[in-house]
Amino acid sequence: MNKRYPKSLSSGENNLVIALSETEVAKIYEGDTRSDIGSESEKMKFANRINGLVAKFLRLEFDAAKGWEMLVMERLYPMDYRSIEVEKRELVLSVFEDELSDLHRQGFVHRDLRRPSNISGERYDNIFLTATGLRLIDVGISALQPQVGEVLFEKYVEVELKELADFKTFFLAR
C-alpha cells in the first residue's frame, strides 16, 4: 500500500496495520477479502486458546466510512533485542521454543517466522520482543493441521523448526 494512512503502524505485502488506541490495533482488509479475514481470525483464536504466544484476537469490525474490514487485536510494543542481556534472551527464547512446540503439538504452525527473501522488511519482523517475552504476529499464512492434513502440516513444522534455529542464532548474537 503506497498511500499513507492516519495512525499507520506497518504495512505488509497485503495489509495495513493501524493503531486504534493504546491497547488495540487493526489489520485492514480492503475489497472482497471475507475469507481471508475469517480464516486469519479463526487461526488467531485457535492459537490464543493454546497459549499467549500469538497476539490476542479481540474482534472483527467494519468501518463503513472507509469501507474497511478490520481484524482487531491487542497492541504490542516491541523492544529491541539488544535491550536485554544475553542470559535473559536465552531464557526468553527457551519459553518461546516451548510455546511454539505447544502450538505445533495442538495443530497450529505459524509458517512466517522468517520472511521470504523476496519480501521487504526485517528478517524476523513477525516476532516481537515485548516486556512479557517473545510474541508472534500476523498469522495470515499460518496453518491448522485439520485443514491441511498431517503430511503437509509436518512439512510446515519441519520448515518452521529450521527457521527457529536460524532465529535463535540471530536473537542471541545481536
| Number of domains within the chain | 2
In tens, the pLDDT along 75-91 reads: 999 999 999 999 999 99
Alpha helices per DSSP H over the chain: 34-50, 86-105, 145-148, 150-173
User: What is the extent of the structural domain holding 89?
Assistant: 81-173
- Examine the domain organization and report whether 91 and 165 are in the same domain: yes
Say whether 22 sits in a helix, a strand or coil.
coil
Q: Which of 32, 56, 74 is the last residue of a domain?
A: 74
In tens, the pLDDT along 9-39 reads: 987 777 889 999 999 999 999 876 655 899 9
Say whether 40 sits in a helix, a strand or coil.
helix
- Examine the domain organization and report whether 88 and 169 are in the same domain: yes
- Examine the domain organization and report whether 63 and 117 are in the same domain: no
Which of 35-39, 55-59, 97-101 shows the lowest per-residue confidence on average (mean pLDDT)? Answer: 35-39
Percent of the chain with pLDDT over 90: 77
Please check whether residue 2 lies inside any domain of the structure.
Answer: no
- Examine the domain organization and report whether 64 and 131 are in the same domain: no
- Examine the domain organization and report whether 88 and 69 are in the same domain: no
Q: Which of 41, 74, 107 is the last residue of a domain?
A: 74
Task: Enumerate the β-bridge partners of residue 60.
Answer: 71
- Examine the domain organization and report whether 66 and 86 are in the same domain: no
E strand or H helix at 128, and its extent? strand 127-130
Dihedral Cα 142, 102, 51, 133, nearest 10 deg: -90
pLDDT at 15: 85
> In the structure grid, which three cell numbers stand for residue 66, read together?
472507509
pLDDT of 8 over the 60 cut: yes
pLDDT at 117: 57
Distance CA 161, CA 26 (A): 29
Nearest residue to 27 via CA among 44, 43, 11, 39? 11
